[in-house]
Structure 1
Amino acid sequence: MSKAQSLLKRDHPAAETKGSINLRVEGQTRQLIDDAAAVLGKTRTEFMIESARRQAIDVLLDQRLFTLGPAQYDAFVDALDHPPAPGPKLQSLLRRAPAWQK
């Protein structure tokens, strides 16, 4: 299993130990978090933990070095050098005017 896969699989470890994190936050920020949590039907704690966890995974995955064997590297370079032709959905999207020009 790759490091990326192991990071993503850490959803619910079998023997989970819980701890606490205390934060001081301005009132406006707290209200913003509460409003966003309410929109998703989550508690403040659920929202903050899920958001922080998602961000932490993204940061760690962005810093990872992915190594490839010679055959994998050649396939990767070939895919970059010879991308597939755009399909009909992409062609349709590219023909539309961008939202900021409408």
Structure 2
Amino acid sequence: MPRTAERKDHPLSMRLPEADIAIIDRAAALRGRSRTDFVREAAVRAAEEVMMETLPVRMSQEGFDAFIQALSGPATAVPAMVEVLRRPAPWEQGGGDVGN
């Protein structure tokens, strides 16, 4: 009798309001994805973010020393950042009818 391969996928079922399904379907269509692929990707990304927020960062002693050295060294201006910070914010530029 041949052995069947063990299935690696695990089903996940949710009950969602029709409005939630509609917005998920619209977003999935905009990305050219199926509802399942879109929801799976979004759920995995959210889970990874939580993990990154809560798990400690581990590195070698050499890596930590290099990190501390980079933080302890003198600040170096990044010309593109300096230019952006010198520009007035859109709401400070005047003109336009927004908010008037």
Quickly say closer, same or farther: Cα 1:100–1:17, change in 2 above 3 A: farther
In 2, the alpha carbon distance for the partners of 1:99 and 1:47 equals: 34
1:57-93 CA distance string (max 9 Å, x none) = 1111221112344443332222223364122211111
Q: For the pair shown, which has the larger CA radius of gyration, 1 or 2?
A: 2
In 1, the alpha carbon distance for the partners of 2:45 and 2:57 equals: 20
State the match for 1:53 in structure 2. Answer: 44
State the match for 1:64 in structure 2. Answer: 55
In 2, the alpha carbon distance for the partners of 1:99 and 1:83 equals: 32
Q: Identity rate of aligned residues, in percent?
A: 30
Residues 16-55 of structure 1 aligned to structure 2 (within 5 Å):
17-55=8-46
Tell me the number of residue pairs that the alignment of Structure 1 and Structure 2 aligns.
Answer: 88
Question: Residue 85 in 1 paired to residue 76 in 2?
Answer: yes
TM-score (norm 1): 0.71
In 1, the alpha carbon distance for the partners of 2:65 and 2:53 equals: 22
Q: Quote the RMSD (CA, aligned, Å).
A: 2.2
In 1, the alpha carbon distance for the partners of 2:22 and 2:74 equals: 46
Unmatched runs of 5 consecutive residues or more in structure 1: 1-14
What's the secondary structure of 1:56's corresponding residue? Answer: helix
Residue 28 of structure 1 deviates from its aligned partner by 1.2
Quickly say closer, same or farther: Cα 1:31–1:87, change in 2 above 3 A: same
In 1, the alpha carbon distance for the partners of 2:70 and 2:22 equals: 46
80-89 or 52-61, which deviates more: 80-89
Per chain length, whose mean CA-contact separation is higher, i.e. which structure has more relative contact order (CA < 8 Å, sep 6+)? 1
